[in-house]
Amino acid sequence: MRFLKTALLALGLSMAMIPPSLSAEKPLKVVLVSGAKIYETGVSLPKFKDYLETHYPVDCTLIHTDNKEELPGLEALEDCDTALFFTRRMKIDGEDLEKVKEYLSGGHPIVALRTASHGFQNYLEFDKEVLGGNYDGHFKEGIPMEIRVTPEGKDHPVLQGVGRIETVSSLYRTGPIAEDATLLMEATTPDSTQPLVWTREHNGGRVLYAGLGTVEDFEQESFRRLVAKALFWTAGKVIPEPK
């Protein structure tokens, strides 16, 4: 008995000496929902999946389709930690659409990119009800944006360590955003200044929207890092440094 107590004490001491950084933690379970053919999400999101799983403790499930009327695999939303939506005017209905609505109505976290504001043609209220946006088309293409971090954004964990982002995406008409949203970034062209990145809560779940997402945007480490951080933040997890 004395030997057993001594052994257990030694084991306890050895476990206590293991640094917190080496403690086992489950990977963040992320679902990437891809369906914006015009933005080649079938190209950018598989690469982003590889980036996430290489540089962060993340386990990704990618759901992709080029068929606007069906989105197989949405049952993965049932046990994920957070989800990224990048779809455009999909016409899913019935059970598929209900799975999306159930996920969102349950207060689960979401990161939404660019055309996700009008990602489901049969659920356009998603923009105002969930994202807190006000999408109303876009300005001319090919005009560089001047992207500015707001005072609220400077101290936000999602933007810590994120460098300058440049894009030739057209500027979306997104304002005014919901009163309970926190604006992190805004973008200016000669035409207008509009909200670009913001956060809010929907039914208790964290939401982040970014009006970016071209293939060229995903080639920038600064943008990839912003989206990666957003996934951890929306899930309520500590944001790790990339490997």
Q: Is the pLDDT of residue 213 over 60?
A: yes
Average the pLDDT over 210-225 and give the result: 97
Q: Is the pLDDT of residue 8 over 90?
A: no
- Determine the pLDDT at residue 140: 84
Whether residue 218 is contained in a domain is answered as yes
Whether residue 4 is contained in a domain is answered as no
- The better pLDDT of the pair 22, 209 is held by 209
Average the pLDDT over 10-23 and give the result: 40
Nearest CA to 231 out of 134, 158, 156 is that of 158
pTM above 0.85, yes or no: yes
Q: Each residue of 8-44: b (16+ CB within 10 Å) or e?
A: eeeeeeeeeeeeeeeeeeeebbbbbbbbbbebebeeb
Q: Is the pLDDT of residue 1 over 90?
A: no
Average the pLDDT over 74-103 and give the result: 97
- Determine the pLDDT at residue 143: 83
- Give the separation between CA 134 and CA 183, rounded to whole angstroms: 13
Partnered with residue 83 across adjacent β-strands are 31, 110
Per residue in 184-200, pLDDT tens?
Answer: 999 999 989 999 999 99
CATH number at residue 226: 3.40.50.880
Whether residue 5 is contained in a domain is answered as no
- Determine the pLDDT at residue 25: 73
Q: Is the pLDDT of residue 19 over 60?
A: no
Q: Is the pLDDT of residue 12 over 80?
A: no
Per residue in 144-177, pLDDT tens?
Answer: 889 999 999 999 999 999 999 999 889 999 999 9
- Determine the pLDDT at residue 217: 96
Whether residue 190 is contained in a domain is answered as yes
How far CA 36 is from CA of 44, 93, 104, 135, 141, in Å, comes to 10, 17, 20, 16, 18
Whether residue 239 is contained in a domain is answered as no
Whether residue 53 is contained in a domain is answered as yes
- Give the separation between CA 181 and CA 164, rounded to whole angstroms: 23
> Residue written as tokens 């088309």?
137
What total number of domains does the chain contain?
A: 1
Per residue in 28-67, pLDDT tens?
Answer: 999 999 999 999 999 999 999 999 999 999 999 999 999 9
Q: Is the pLDDT of residue 98 over 90?
A: yes
Whether residue 9 is contained in a domain is answered as no
SS3 category, 45: helix
- Determine the pLDDT at residue 194: 97
DSSP 122: G
- Determine the pLDDT at residue 233: 98
- Give the separation between CA 207 and CA 186, rounded to whole angstroms: 17
Per residue in 103-151, pLDDT tens?
Answer: 999 999 999 999 999 999 999 999 999 999 999 999 988 788 899 999 9
Whether residue 91 is contained in a domain is answered as yes
Q: Which domain, by its residues, includes 85?
A: 26-234
- Give the separation between CA 79 and CA 204, rounded to whole angstroms: 17
